[in-house]
């Protein structure tokens, strides 16, 4: 897809969500419900969280739920009892950092093993570890990373 097609699809998605959300907001505002009904809860929920829903509708890149992040941490939650190196706060912090790097690499379409190898090769050789422009080139979403580190999905979606 070209950038124009991506932008057009994004605008269509945002417009559809905005229209749907506006209809839901109008419906919630128009109906009076008792506390015993589910609709009362829904109406209150919509009114209390409308600003957050609007933020979602303004930016088409945002997802309406956090299922993807929940799925990505599931292996970590399942395996944490088996990880003996995380028995101290520093071990737990190190574990969280490494896991965060791996999952961010996966979300950005990188092969985690190859990406970590690249980081372990490049980071010790940095002259200035406080230089943000140099560090930005190593981040998983950097366009300067070699294409060989990327995993291209061949499945039909």
Whether residues 140 and 77 share a domain: the answer is yes
Whether residues 76 and 124 share a domain: the answer is yes
Most confident of 21-30, 79-88, 122-131: 122-131
Q: What is the pTM of this model?
A: 0.51
∠ CA(47), CA(51), CA(57), 5° rounding?
Answer: 115
Whether residues 28 and 96 share a domain: the answer is no
Q: What confidence score (pLDDT) does residue 149 get?
A: 85
**Mean predicted confidence (pLDDT) in 13-20:** 78
Name the domain count of the chain: 2
Whether residues 71 and 144 share a domain: the answer is yes
Closest residue by Cα to residue 139 from 99, 94, 108, 98 = 108
**Which residue range forms the structural domain that includes residue 34?**
3-58
Whether residues 75 and 145 share a domain: the answer is yes
pLDDT tens per residue, range 87-140: 778 877 887 788 888 888 988 889 999 999 999 999 898 888 888 888 888 999
Domain endpoint, select from 58, 76, 96: 58
Residue 157: pLDDT above 60?
Answer: no
């Amino acid at each position: 897809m070209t950038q124009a097609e991506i932008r057009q699809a994004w605008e269509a998605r945002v417009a559809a969500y905005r229209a749907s959300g506006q209809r839901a907001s109008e419906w919630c505002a128009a109906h009076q419900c008792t506390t015993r009904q589910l609709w009362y809860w829904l109406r209150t929920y919509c009114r209390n969280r409308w600003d957050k829903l609007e933020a979602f509708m303004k930016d088409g890149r945002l997802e309406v739920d956090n299922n993807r992040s929940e799925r990505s941490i599931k292996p970590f939650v399942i395996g944490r009892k088996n990880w003996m190196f995380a028995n101290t706060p520093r071990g737990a912090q190190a574990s969280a950092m490494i896991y965060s790097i791996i999952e961010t690499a996966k979300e950005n379409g990188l092969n985690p093993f190859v990406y970590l190898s690249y980081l372990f090769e490049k980071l010790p050789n940095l002259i200035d570890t406080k230089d943000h422009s140099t560090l930005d080139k190593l981040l998983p979403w950097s366009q300067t990373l070699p294409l060989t580190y990327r995993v291209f999905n061949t499945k039909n979606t």
